[in-house]
Structure 1
Amino acid sequence: MTEQPPPAPPAHALAVVMRDYLSYGESGMADLKEAVHSVRQKPVIGAFCRHLRQILAGTAPVPTDVINKEFQRRADEETALGDGTPVEPVHYDDQQAYEALADLWEYLDLTPEGEPEGAVTSAKTAVRNRRSQLLWVDGDPVEALKTWMSWRSLALFGAGTVLCTGGWAAYQRIDATLLRSLLLLLTLAGFVMASVGGGALWLRRVRYVNPDAFLPSERKTKEERR
């Protein structure tokens, strides 16, 4: 039986989160929130959330030194990457550090226990967003159907289905070579028509449920965020 790695110390978890996420500003905050609400949360993220709850509850000291060390490290890094002009680091006192962590808590949507708000709901939402979501949307289903339905695509799908089914049925019953070739061609044409019509309806339905579906991702790597 393999040994499990020891849990990350709270101060170490905070330092890792500041280095890998918070130092990158708004984009890092957004990535941290996604990591916190991820279905498979990293152990260091879980340790950070628990430590944050302890700090705000007053059962753990405010890690002002850890926060200021990260500010100093980031300033030194920006100075080295710049034109040589020293970058003044941000410096927090205990009150400012506590208020910043409290704002972070609210931004991350954490429960009083330090868990992601509605973890089960978030997991279900993530699963739904990865599906075509063909079955249901909130609200009036009739109005939703009128909104995303395309009657041209539906007619193309219906005509293609009838043509494909009828052509194939006739193809199996007729022995004449010329007619069989023509019916096979009609069957293939019907199949293409039904595929185009059905695919168009599916795409309209997915875009209705999620307008951002199939758009390119704008996620940035750590190097790009620098």
Structure 2
Amino acid sequence: MTDQPLPAVSTHALAVVMRDYLSYGESGMADLKEAVHAVRRKPVLNAFCQHVRRILEGEVPVPTDVINKEFERRAKEDGPGEDGKPQEPVHYDDQQAYEALADLWEYLDLNPDGEPEGAATELKSAMRSGRSQMLWIEGDPLQALKTWMSWRQLALFVVGTVLCTVSWAIYRNVDASVVRSITLLLTIAGFVMASIGGGALWLRRVRYVNPDAFLPKEPQPKDDRR
């Protein structure tokens, strides 16, 4: 029952995509392919791709009526032909509509999951994977924390932060020149300590997520470079 609302929403997405892209012929198909392969794809295109995937897999019926209605609308919008006679709109049966969607799927270079193939998709997946790894590590989070955490560096960061904050507050509220000079030095020292401790913790965290991070890359042979 939870899957029933999807065809209606996706059929609307199909109508939108046909109106905005496919009804313009080859130029519209080229624009659609570019939009589908964009790093940030529009939600309506996601719904369209998933609906076409379900059609080709036989999970939902072919929306022949939606396709033919768009052909009729486009023919009326274009008006009469060069001879002055009304243009006859293209009319598909279910088999022709299915074959047209299959050809479109192949033209768009979509994988079985409805995601576009190519460098843009790989970049998007890498971004998502890297972001999820930096936010969360699979497994026991306590054990992961014990693995990469350094208590000395954490203490250096905390002590440096407290020293910098307290010294700066005293520096701002005291008028004695000697005290202000000392607290200014302590503020700088605390800032340096916090930076070293926090930076070291961050490096340990990154190396735990990706052991190959910050390692020098092997130079590529000159013949392989473009």
Output the TM-score relative to the length of structure 1.
Answer: 0.50
- Tell me, yes or no, if the aligned pair for 2:22 and 2:29 is still in contact at 8 Å: yes
Work out the CA distance in 2 between the residues paired with 1:73 and 1:120: 34
Q: Give the aligned residue type for 1:61.
A: P
Residue 25 of structure 2 aligns to a residue in which SS? helix
- 1:14 maps to 14
Work out the CA distance in 1 between the residues paired with 2:100 and 2:112: 17
Any stretches of 5+ residues in structure 2 without a counterpart? 126-219
Work out the CA distance in 2 between the residues paired with 1:24 and 1:95: 22
- Tell me, yes or no, if the aligned pair for 1:37 and 1:122 is still in contact at 8 Å: no
Work out the CA distance in 1 between the residues paired with 2:224 and 2:108: 35
Are residue 75 (structure 1) and residue 156 (structure 2) matched?
Answer: no
Q: 1:83 to 1:123 in 2, by over 3 A?
A: farther
- 1:107 maps to 107
Work out the CA distance in 1 between the residues paired with 2:81 and 2:75: 10
Q: Give the aligned residue type for 1:73.
A: R
- Tell me, yes or no, if the aligned pair for 2:37 and 2:121 is still in contact at 8 Å: no
- 1:141 maps to 222
How do residues 9-158 of structure 1 correspond to structure 2 at under 5 angstroms? 9-79=9-79, 84-118=84-118, 119-121=120-122, 123=124, 140-141=221-222
Deviation at 1:79, TM superposition (A): 1.2
- Per-residue CA deviation, residues 70-95 of structure 1 (Å, 9 max, x unaligned), is 00001111116977420110000000
The total of aligned residue pairs comes to 128
| Bigger Rg, which one | 2
- Misfit runs of 4+, over 2 Å: 80-85, 118-124, 139-144
- Tell me, yes or no, if the aligned pair for 1:52 and 1:101 is still in contact at 8 Å: yes
Work out the CA distance in 2 between the residues paired with 1:62 and 1:29: 20
Output the TM-score relative to the length of structure 2.
Answer: 0.50
The alignment yields a C-alpha RMSD, in angstroms, of 2.9
Q: What is the percent sequence identity of the aligned residues?
A: 71
- Tell me, yes or no, if the aligned pair for 2:80 and 2:87 is still in contact at 8 Å: no
Deviation at 1:120, TM superposition (A): 3.5
Deviation at 1:116, TM superposition (A): 1.3
Work out the CA distance in 2 between the residues paired with 1:143 and 1:102: 37
Deviation at 1:113, TM superposition (A): 1.0
Structure number with the bigger relative contact order (C-alpha 8 A, sep ≥ 6) is 1
Residue 89 of structure 2 aligns to a residue in which SS? coil
- 1:150 maps to none
- Tell me, yes or no, if the aligned pair for 2:81 and 2:87 is still in contact at 8 Å: no
